[in-house]
Amino acid sequence: LSEHDHGDRGHHPEPLAPVEARVAAIETVLTAKGMFDPGTLDSIVENFEHNLGPLNGAKVVARAWVDDEYRDRLLTDATAAIAELGFGGPEGDHMVVVANTPDVHNLVVCTLCSCYPWPTLGLPPAWYKEPAYRSRAVREPRALLAEMGTDLSDDVEIRVWDSSAEVRYLVLPERPAGTDGLSEDELVGVVTRDAMIGVARL
């Protein structure tokens, strides 16, 4: 391909097409080439919208809170332990779970792109993919966490995990005080997406 075929904006004085028009253009091209089967594609997208999400990760966390043997398996071989609850697949084939303690706080980021554990957390929120989070999580995590509402004392060690290869991370938050009387199902409702990314504590 010549440089001209590539996106050198300086050679293309015409205005940027609206993003909706660009999406429609791609759909037209894919359809004309027989590469676009809306039925199959919609079922994939609907799976992301309705079946993959932080509720799955919350079930993993709640199980680990009530079952010490499960917790041990989760921290030793997370992919297998998560599969016990029926969750797995793309972006979840190599899972590592990192546990918070009173002295250690874990924070997950993908500085290079948007890697995220789809089977347990779903698709990432917009802020997780944007430059502010990706640039600062590895550079000034304590200040970033404080800004996002999680003030950690200076004696809490922060471990940041940049998912730059195949592993995808899930944070195991500490079980909050005052939840002794809750059932496993009720505990699921206590767990938040942000706590499993590590930008919040419960």
> What is the phi/psi pair of residue 143, to 5°?
-65, -40
Look up residue 122 and give its amino acid.
Answer: G
Catalytic residue status for 113:
yes
Q: What does the block give as tokens for 79? A: 């992919």
Instruction: Supply the minimum distance, in Å, between the C-beta of residue 196 and another protein.
Output: 14
String of contacts with another protein for each residue 24-63, x by CB under 8 A: xxxxxxx--x-xxxx--xx-xx--xx---x----------
Query: What is the spatial distance between Cα 31 and Cα 48, in angstroms, rounded to a whole number?
Result: 23
Instruction: Supply the minimum distance, in Å, between the C-beta of residue 159 and another protein.
Output: 5
Name the nearest CA neighbour of 193 among 93, 55, 52. 55
- 121, 60 Cβ separation under 8 angstroms: no
Q: 55 forms bridges with which residues in the sheet? A: none
Q: 21 forms bridges with which residues in the sheet? A: none
Instruction: Supply the minimum distance, in Å, between the C-beta of residue 39 and another protein.
Output: 11
Angle of the 54-66 helix axis to the 68-76 helix axis, nearest 10: 120
Whichever of 10 and 178 has its CB closer to another protein, that residue is: 10
Contacts with another protein by CB under 8 A: the residue count is 81
201 in contact with another protein (CB under 8 A): no
102 in contact with another protein (CB under 8 A): no
Q: Which residue in 43, 113, 135, 164 is the catalytic one?
A: 113
157 in contact with another protein (CB under 8 A): yes
Instruction: Supply the minimum distance, in Å, between the C-beta of residue 63 and another protein.
Output: 23
Sign of CA dihedral 89, 137, 164, 64: negative
String of contacts with another protein for each residue 124-143, x by CB under 8 A: -xxx-xxxxxxxxxxxxxx-
State the catalytic residues. Answer: 110, 113-115
